[in-house]
Structure 1
Amino acid sequence: MSDFDDLPYKIHTGRELELMLSGLKPFACFVDEYPSEPCEEIIPEEAFQEHVQSGKFEKREYVEMLAGAPPASRTDLKGVRRVFYSLPGEGWRIDAYIDMKARAGLSGWSEELERLEGRLLGYEEWQTDAWIEMLLARPQSKNFPWLVRLAAKRGLQNA
């Protein structure tokens, strides 16, 4: 049983290629540590490659280097690699996603950014509402400042 089985919809994770090929998902983002060994389960580049070559998808990637020293347990870690795929005409979502991550780096994550991420990834507003409600209900929500602020704003007990 998955943590997400209680959602009233199926999340896109693991179904990105299928949903993009059917036109139901305009954009996908995959993240891995940098440097890393290629792993299709984390970033399915081989699965997407033929569709990029045929022009069905646009691909972009970038590496965000660590601002400081890596954790003592991971001295080989240098940053985070992000790989993006979009449908034709939807490349603006990649730019918006990169901008969203930069904003989050400056001001921290927020409900506004969570909702923006959902829209960029192709989720409907009601799905993002359900996602946020699920996040708020999880015990781990206390570990995320933006969820603590949102719970307090709503007068929820887990604030």
Structure 2
Amino acid sequence: MADIGETAYPAVMLPNLLRSLPYLVHTNRELGLMLAGEKPLASFVDGKGRFPEVVVRYLRLFDRHVANGRILRRDHYSDAFGVTPYVKHRILFALPGEEWRMQAMIDLHEGHAAWSPELERRERGLLGYADWMNDYWVQLVYVHRDA
């Protein structure tokens, strides 16, 4: 399963919540945004060998850009947690000069058991969402949920 806003599933499958935002999510647009220099990092995560075929096909679109150095790729594996019986596989893509974001994303997810609005904000910042977008998202997802 990919991170929120970072999946490769068709837009028709996106929850109404994501489609109702006052900005465009990066979902299904990661590669184009990266090639345009507008997105510094993309992150996809699922169990090792468990990515759906549609995601695998989408990830293959990055291959030639990785081969020519226009985009960097890093694969990270970590132990499963909770009830997941498989190894977690995170695939990260970064623009040259932004590769520090790869390790920061790994550290963010490996170093915290409980997720919070602050971690959500940091993750979305690493992915290239603007502060105002993160403010809107956190308000919508966390503040309204807890109200």
TM bin, normalised by shorter chain, reads 0.7 to 0.9
What 5-or-longer segments of structure 1 have no aligned partner?
72-76, 142-150, 152-157
Question: 2 CA distance for matches of 1:79 and 1:18?
Answer: 29
Structure 2 match to 1:55 = 69
- Please state how far the C-alpha of 1:103 moved relative to its aligned partner: 2.1
Structure 2 match to 1:86 = 94
Larger Rg over CA atoms: 1
Query: Given the two structures, how large is their TM-score scaled by the length of structure 1?
Result: 0.74
Alpha carbons of 1:93 and 1:124: their partners in 2 closer, same or farther (altered >3 Å)?
A: same
Structure 2 match to 1:120 = 126
Does the CA-based 8 Å contact 1:32-1:42 persist in structure 2? no
Question: 2 CA distance for matches of 1:38 and 1:9?
Answer: 27
Does the CA-based 8 Å contact 1:97-1:120 persist in structure 2? yes
Which residue, out of 15, 19, 31, partners 1:17? 31
Question: 2 CA distance for matches of 1:117 and 1:100?
Answer: 7
Structure 1 match to 2:103 = 95
**AA of the residue aligned to 1:130:** Y
Alpha carbons of 1:12 and 1:64: their partners in 2 closer, same or farther (altered >3 Å)?
A: same
Query: Given the two structures, how large is their TM-score scaled by the length of structure 2?
Result: 0.80
Question: 2 CA distance for matches of 1:5 and 1:45?
Answer: 23
SS at match of 1:35: coil
What 5-or-longer segments of structure 2 have no aligned partner?
1-14
- Please state how far the C-alpha of 1:33 moved relative to its aligned partner: 1.7
Which residue, out of 100, 107, 115, partners 1:109? 115
Q: Quick one: percent identity of the two aligned structures?
A: 37
Alpha carbons of 1:47 and 1:40: their partners in 2 closer, same or farther (altered >3 Å)?
A: farther
Question: 2 CA distance for matches of 1:88 and 1:124?
Answer: 20
Structure 1 match to 2:40 = 26
**AA of the residue aligned to 2:115:** W
Question: 1 CA distance for matches of 2:19 and 2:140?
Answer: 10
Question: 2 CA distance for matches of 1:42 and 1:133?
Answer: 33
Question: 1 CA distance for matches of 2:51 and 2:111?
Answer: 29
- Please state how far the C-alpha of 1:38 moved relative to its aligned partner: 5.9
